[in-house]
Structure 1
Amino acid sequence: MNASEQIVVVARWHVAQDQVNDVLDIVSTLRQHSLAEPGCLGYEVFRSTEDTGTVLLIERYRDAEAIDAHRNSAHYQELVVGRIIPMLTGRQVELLRA
């Protein structure tokens, strides 16, 4: 695998305070499913110490094909699209290469 093909996803989610724990519970399940994908090389979840409504995800994928597989997976569609996105007050996603 060529390291230059790897893609890092940096997703910053803004969540209403009363829904942060719900989002983090769902993300825990999402993380387990994502790490089981053959193209997922890493999946870390952080919560801001200054703004506890900010959740940062750093995900690493083998290549663009692995990102597509992730986004089209049943667990992504159900958990992210169906449940998490409706709870967010803001969302920024960057795709980066090494």
Structure 2
Amino acid sequence: MISFTVRMRFAKEDRAEIRSILQNLGAASRQEPGCANYVAHTLENDPDTVLIYEQYRDAEALEAHRSSPHFEQWATNGLYRKLRERTLETLQEIV
């Protein structure tokens, strides 16, 4: 299992558009056969910072996600064009 978080910061004026993009990207991503989990959050005291928790069955499933038409539409041509900061953290399972 591959697990990671993506933390992204956006401008306040993009808040509604980012929420819509994340709803579409999340719904499509969760339909992928290799996607075990895809949940987007905003920080409680910072609605312009998004934290996405993602899990994929294996490296092939992650590559399929990153190569999908919905990833290109909603992430590459949507989120990535609006973001101000981005941090990706790969997680190691303990149990």
TM-score, with normalisation over the residues of structure 1? Answer: 0.90
Paired position in structure 2 for 1:3: none
| 1:29 partnered with 2:24 | yes
Tell me how far apart the structure 2 counterparts of residues 59 and 22 of structure 1 sit (CA, whole Å): 21
Q: What secondary structure does 1:31 align onto?
A: helix
Shift of 1:9: 2.0
Q: Please give the secondary structure, in 2, of the residue aligned with 1:53.
A: strand
**Aligned counterpart, 1:84:** 79
Structure 2 unaligned regions, length at least 5: none
Q: CA deviation at 1:15?
A: 0.5
Task: Give the whole-Å Cα distance in 1 for the aligned partners of 2:48 and 2:23.
Answer: 16
Say which of 19, 27, 36 aligns to 1:41. 36
RMSD after superposition: 0.9
Output the CA distance in 1 between the equivalents of 2:92 and 2:58: 9
Unaligned ranges ≥5, structure 1: 1-5
Q: TM-score, normalised by structure 2?
A: 0.92
What secondary structure, in the 3-state scheme, does the structure 1 residue paired with 2:41 have?
strand
Q: Which letter maps to 1:88?
A: L
